[in-house]
Amino acid sequence: MQTGTRKSPPKVYLAASYLLQAQMREVREGLGRRGIEVTSRWIDDPAEQSLKARDLAGAAGMKAGRIAARQDLEDIDAADCVIVFTEVASTTGGMHAELGYALGRRKNVIVCGPRVNVFQCLVDQYPGIPDLIAGVMP
């Protein structure tokens, strides 16, 4: 019998435009078939929960924004790697904040799509999802 601890499956956080929510669920399914767990709870939120700047006014908006932000940060903390999908521009800027948080937490970060800011020059980049799957998750 083998002793020692068994390594847990790798975990990734998917950062993308809310417009890619359905596609991120498909990516999660593909990663799951490869034994990779996705920590991003936002991809299962109802589409109407995407918070825009106009939604953050007032006490109720602030409360909803804090809950969403804390959840995303918890999910990033639970991940070994953050994959930022840039082919579709962010509708809220959230994925850029997530990238900065992940870099600050010294997470492994990968960009999937074109680099859209200087901080993305610090990490590996793949042109698209097929390249990502072939290059990182054979």
Which CATH number covers residue 97? Answer: 3.40.50.450
Q: Is residue 5 part of a domain?
A: no
- Is residue 21 a part of any domain in this protein? yes
DSSP string, the chain: ---SPPPPPPEEEEE--GGGHHHHHHHHHHHHHTT-EE--GGGGS-GGGPPPGGGG-HHHHHHHHHHHHHHHHHHHHT-SEEEEE-SS--SSSHHHHHHHHHHHTT-EEEEES---SGGGGGSEEESSHHHHHHHH--
What's this model's pTM, rounded to 2 decimal places?
Answer: 0.87
Domain total in the chain: 1
Residue-wise pLDDT tens for the chain (138 aa)?
344 454 788 999 999 998 899 999 999 998 898 889 999 999 998 765 666 666 777 888 788 888 889 999 999 999 999 999 999 988 788 899 999 999 999 999 999 999 999 999 999 999 998 888 777 665
* Residue 56, in any domain of the structure: yes
Kindly state whether residue 6 falls inside one of the protein's structural domains.
Answer: no
Whether 58 maps to a domain, the answer reads yes
Determine, yes or no, domain membership for 4.
Answer: no
Range of the domain at 38: 11-136
